[in-house]
Amino acid sequence: MTNIHLFIISISLSCLMFGQTANAEESSPATPEKVEVASKAEPPTASTTDATTPTSTEGTDKDSNILIVNKSEKLSDKVRSIRDAIEVVWFKPESVADEKAGTVRISFAGTTKPGTRVYLLSNEIETVKGDKKEKMVLKPTELKYLPGLADPRGVFLFEMTLPPGNYEIPVSFVDPAAQSINAAKSFILLLNVSYKEVVFGFREMDGRDPFTPESDYYAFGGGLNYAVYNKSSPEVPAEVRFSSFKIPSLRFGYAKTLDPKWRFNASLLFAPGETQNGSRVPVKGGSYIWTNLNADGIYSKETWKKTYGRYRVRYGVRTGLQLNSIPFLASTTKDDNTQSVQNVSMNYLSVGAQADIMTDDGFSYEVFMRAALPGLLMSSIDAKDLMSIDGSIGGMYFKKKSAWGYGLYWYGNWMKFSFSEKDAYSDKNVSGTSDILFSNLEFRVLYKY
């Protein structure tokens, strides 16, 4: 009987200990809003999670926290699908600076599938100094919670201690159902570390940076345009003014990434318009086509990127050539009061600024403004003192793993110049100023190549 009592007591104690362990594991993870709490509970390492350790021959180095990957293994469709299904949402890192020690402790956190393991892909990270990259070996004392494990709510946390600088750090996530470490989804963490703040970004290894806007695509757009034209001249008895609202305007576009700093963008716009007779000055000719062909280079540096919560803004300089065919009211009739609409060329170099607003959910936005460089106007008429400012704002969306996307964009251009023309009938000079305000709203379909 005594043996039976001891057996029953031992079973009861085992159940009680198991229940306390389970409750402790459920209460330790932090909520996404309070990432700092997670630092108080160290996630279990791979050595304590044998139930989820992959059954393949790969794994982690017993003497470190590095993931060992068999790169010669051919990925099966099943392994590839497991890897592609891993979703990781990063939170903005928190940092604590220790200027006396010359280091910054950075806490990384985010959410993924519960039970997903987090590894450092290599303890050899890259430091970025200008255009050069150098190797740096992380010591075990500079890492915390790696390997790590996402808690039952999918929250993961790890820490690194680094001196100020720019870094690229490889981190991998392994699904708990994976039978091969090669099913890991890996990221390169892009860090700009200073005592004041840590600017954080990332890109998928063997994939594009989720914060990078689509830069290699063809575009086709259609929309509507509105234009207002003014001409003022002492030889014309009244100011000539007309407005035009027309559809459809058509655009063809092309974009290409040349290297990490330079991108190329070209587009061709056709926008129809129609003149109207004024109350005192009649206009002949009627319709016209506003044509704009531009070819721009966009320059941006890695240090020109800033992260604001879930948005990253990349600033750049945009410069290039603009070829325009615009409407011009010419005094070319026997009656000086009558104007005839003509298309004239206005070609010039422009320079300006651009900002790309990027997210990690397929949306990206673009804003730019340019101004014509003075003294470089090439025109089919005697024109000078050109002032031209144009700009655009819009956004695009690409569904994940789809080559097709769509966007909505507005483009505007204000142009003013002085002119001098010779009346074809009276043989006298007619001089004055013209200004045009052009606005175009369009829907675009985009195709990644």
Tell which wins on pLDDT, 32 or 14: 14
Strand partners, 143: 160
Boundary of a domain, candidates 179, 204, 229: 204
What percent of the chain has a predicted confidence (pLDDT) above 90? 38
Same domain, 224 and 179: no
Domain membership flag for residue 435? yes
Chain position carrying tokens 């730019």: 368
Band (pLDDT 50/70/90 cuts) for residue 31 is very low
Tokens linked to 237: 């008895």
- Residue 174 shares a structural domain with residue 250: no
- Looking at the structure, do residues 268 and 131 belong to the same domain, yes or no? no
Same domain assignment for residues 104 and 239: no
Q: Are residues 387 and 441 in the same domain?
A: yes
Which of these, 274, 280, 278, 284, lies nearest to 227 by C-alpha position? Answer: 274
pLDDT at 347: 95
pLDDT tens track for 287-330: 899 999 999 999 998 778 877 766 778 899 999 999 999 998 88
Q: Are 420 and 196 in contact (CB under 8 A)?
A: no
Total domain count, the chain: 2
Structural domain ending residue among the three candidates 148, 173, 204: 204
Residue with the bigger pLDDT between 431 and 354: it is: 354
- Which pLDDT does position 329 carry in this prediction? 83
Question: Alpha carbon of 423 to those of 72, 111, 129, 380: distances in Å?
Answer: 78, 73, 63, 16
Together in a domain, 147 and 258: no
- Which of 2-11, 74-83, 190-199, 223-232 bottoms out in mean pLDDT, i.e. has the lowest? 2-11
The candidate with the shortest Cα–Cα distance to 367, out of 388, 398, 397, 390, is 390
Parent domain of 38? 31-204
Q: Are residues 238 and 161 both part of a single domain?
A: no
Residue 167 belongs to some domain of the structure:
yes
At 348, which amino acid appears? Y
256 and 354 share one domain: yes
pLDDT (tens digit, 9 = 90+) per residue, 124-168? Answer: 787 877 667 788 888 877 788 877 889 999 999 999 999 999 898
Q: What pTM value is reported for the model? A: 0.58
Asked whether residue 95 is domain-assigned, the answer is: yes
Residue 233 located in a structural domain: yes
CA 26 to chain centroid: 38
**Domain boundary at 171, 204, 237, which?**
204
Q: 271 and 197 in one domain? A: no
Residues 53 and 189 in one domain: yes
Question: Does 67 map to a domain?
Answer: yes
Q: Are residues 190 and 239 in the same domain?
A: no
Q: What is the CATH number of the domain that holds 349?
A: 2.40.128
Beta bridge partners of 353: 317, 369
Indicate whether 238 belongs to any domain.
yes
> Is residue 225 domain-shared with residue 181, that is, in the same domain?
no
Q: Among residues 269, 259, 282, which one has the least CA distance to residue 221? A: 269
Q: Are 439 and 225 in contact (CB under 8 A)?
A: yes
Answer yes or no: is 296 within a domain.
yes
Give domain status of residue 141, yes or no.
Answer: yes
CB 378 within 8 Å of CB 348: yes
